[in-house]
Amino acid sequence: MDHGLEGKRALVTGAGSGIGLAIAEALAREGAVVALHGRDLERTAELRQSIESAGGKAVSVAADLLESGEIKAMCGDVLERLGGIDIIVNNAGWADFAEVPDMAEEMWDRIMDTNVKAPYLVSRHLLPAMLEQKSGGSIIFNASTSGKSADAEWTAYNASKHAVLQFMKCLAMEVGEQDIRVNAICPGWAESKMASAAIEKIAQQNEEDFEDTYERTMRGNMLGALIGPESLADMTVYLAGRHGRYITGQAINVCGGVNYY
């Protein structure tokens, strides 16, 4: 299936591993030129070489997403090296949990700054170039099914993902007439370092075996499925490409089926 991504210029934040890496590789396979973001430039340079050895095109960029100045500089680097931008994938995120009385202010700030402020800044710095091109584009947020639910102890994380979904919808309304589509992918529990770290903490709190907790948590969906990063990459390619040309302002679950209230 041709998704019409040949020659498109994309940025994927948090492309160093897991879901971000799968998304970057999938976009490159479709012919996009991908800017691979990570905090470790050596790591993203290794990934760039891997993508290029497979016939793809990529550049590596670095920024600490907790630092506004670094985000701005990174976005400028992306525009200079790619010559513009057609696809923005705000993938990077951070998860942790605690009951509110025990939640350190630093935890709240890190989650909000990584999950909400950083995607806003990336979008803010790159959107003017996308608008100036007058050729449309696609902005995709890696949100979460947690943005549609409420969970004890996950107050900061869920609040950040609710905020991302509302930011996405408002931005979609702003730029729709310029043929820029803005959507969010909402994974359930999906395989990633972040998910493993959260489940390790859950297992320790409950004095359970990690493998048992991992299996129960990750397969806690209608399909009993273990959702890999490639599933999120497939949806990203679909939304970014020509087959998703009339999809905007949507928060699409990729979760194996879960119920919400």
Active site residues: 157
- Give percent of the chain above pLDDT 70: 99
Q: Are residues 202 and 233 in the same domain?
A: no
Backbone angles phi, psi at 11, to 5 degrees: -115, 135
Question: What pLDDT shows up at residue 218?
Answer: 87
Q: Is the pLDDT of residue 159 over 70?
A: yes
Residue pointed to by tokens 């991908």:
34
Q: Is the pLDDT of residue 158 over 80?
A: yes
pLDDT digits (tens, 9 = 90+) for 85-96: 999 999 999 999
Q: Is the pLDDT of residue 157 over 80?
A: yes
Domain that holds residue 144: 9-188+229-252
Task: Please give the mean pLDDT across all residues of the chain.
Answer: 95
Domain count, the chain: 2
Q: What is the CATH number for 44?
A: 3.40.50.720
pTM above 0.75, yes or no: yes
Strand arrangement, sheet containing 180-187: 57-62, 33-38, 9-12, 87-90, 137-142, 180-187, 251-254
Facing residues of 253 across strands?
186
Q: Are residues 140 and 242 in the same domain?
A: yes
State the sign of the Cα–Cα–Cα–Cα dihedral 7, 45, 114, 203: positive
Question: What pLDDT shows up at residue 135?
Answer: 97
Question: What pLDDT shows up at residue 195?
Answer: 87
Q: Are residues 164 and 127 in the same domain?
A: yes
pLDDT tier at 1, thresholds 50, 70, 90: confident
Q: CB atoms < 10 A from the CB of 128, how many?
A: 11
What is the rounded CA–CA span in Å between residue 221 and residue 168? 26
pLDDT digits (tens, 9 = 90+) for 106-137: 999 999 999 999 999 999 999 999 999 999 99
Question: What pLDDT shows up at residue 258?
Answer: 84
pLDDT digits (tens, 9 = 90+) for 186-241: 999 888 888 888 899 899 988 899 999 999 998 999 999 999 999 999 999 999 99
pLDDT tier at 260, thresholds 50, 70, 90: low
Q: Are residues 234 and 218 in the same domain?
A: no
The reply to whether 260 falls in a domain is no
The reply to whether 3 falls in a domain is no
- Give percent of the chain above pLDDT 90: 87
